[in-house]
Amino acid sequence: MSKQKILEIRWHGRGGQGAKTAALLFADAALTSGKFVQAFPEYGPERMGAPVASFNRIADQPIMQHCGVTDPKIVVVLDPSLIGKVNVTQGMPDDGIIIVNTAESPKDVRSNLKLKGSKVFTVDASGISKAAIGRDIPNTPMLGALLKASGLLDYKQTVEETRKKLQKKFASKPEVVEGNIKAIERAYEEVKGE
């Protein structure tokens, strides 16, 4: 099995922003579409606010490798303040896709990152999260942006699966579920790329 057939994603965030949960939700959604999946976080001395990363592998056939992801096709940045402090584009190929949670335009982010190739997408996931959920938890809106930017999974089906998943997790807080779903939908609509 050659490597090209496996899509690799790296999520950058800060402890508490839900980078791990986002990877798990995305893998679950991909599983429902019949894909083979992996989702795993990078475990360091994790604490609130510290830079963290998590990873996905998605494929149409069984995924055998259990090594780290070093050259992801897609990078998702949950916190724009990481740019310049963490090398978020490390290992990303020239035809890669980077999606950043920021109110800035893709053009500005491209120049900040000094990126020549690659596609750059931005969405104000924090703003959306505050409006829809009442807190700055950007992971679910970024999931919506990823669905749009990657075009990998069926959008409607994924939203429904995520709703089911969240309903299980937040059985006692139905308002959290609807807020998150709204955030995914808004980010899917509002994400811009170049």
Partner 1 sequence: MAVVAKTGNEAMAEAMRQINPDVVAAYPITPATEIVMIFAQFVADGLVDTNYIPVESEHSAMSACVGAATTGARVMTGTSSQGLALMYEILPIASGLRLPIIMCDVNRAISAPINIHCDHSDTMAARDFGWIQIFSENAQEAYDNLLQAVRIAEDPRVLLPTMVTTDGFIISHGMERMEMLEDAQVKEYVGEKKPAYSILDLENPKTIGALDFTDYYFEHKMPLVQAMKDSKQVILEVGRDFGNKFGREYGFFEKYKMDDAELVMVALGSTCGTAKVAIDELREQGIKAGLLKIRVFRPFAAEEIAKELAGKKAVAVMDRSDSYNTQGGPVFTEVRSALYGTSNAPKMINYIYGLGGRDINVPQLKSVFTDLSKIDKMPEINYLGVRE
Taking CB under 8 A as the criterion, the residue among 67, 85, 151, 172 binding partner 1 is 67
| Count of alpha carbons within 13 angstroms of residue 165, beta-carbon side | 20
Q: Which helix (H) or strand (E) segment is 37 a member of?
A: strand 36-41
Q: Would you say 78 and 22 are in contact if contact means Cβ atoms under 8 Å apart?
A: yes
> Parallel, antiparallel, or unpaired: how do β-strands 51-59 and 7-14 relate?
antiparallel
Nearer CB in complex with partner 1: 28/136: 28
**Binding to partner 1 by residue 31, rule CB under 8 A?**
yes
CA dihedral 36, 118, 193, 148 (to 10 degrees): -10
**Binding to partner 1 by residue 171, rule CB under 8 A?**
no
Q: Is 163 exposed, middle or buried (0-12, 13-18, 19+ CB in 10 A)?
A: middle
**Binding to partner 1 by residue 22, rule CB under 8 A?**
no
Taking CB under 8 A as the criterion, the residue among 63, 115, 131, 152 binding partner 1 is 63
Taking CB under 8 A as the criterion, the residue among 7, 15, 28, 112 binding partner 1 is 28
Q: Least distance to partner 1 from the beta carbon of 39, Å?
A: 4
**Binding to partner 1 by residue 40, rule CB under 8 A?**
yes
Nearer CB in complex with partner 1: 4/156: 4
Nearer CB in complex with partner 1: 66/116: 66
Give 41's strand partners.
54
The amino acid sitting at 128 is: I
**Binding to partner 1 by residue 36, rule CB under 8 A?**
yes
Chain residues in the site for partner 1 (CB under 8 A) = 1-3, 24, 27-28, 31, 35-41, 43, 62-68, 70
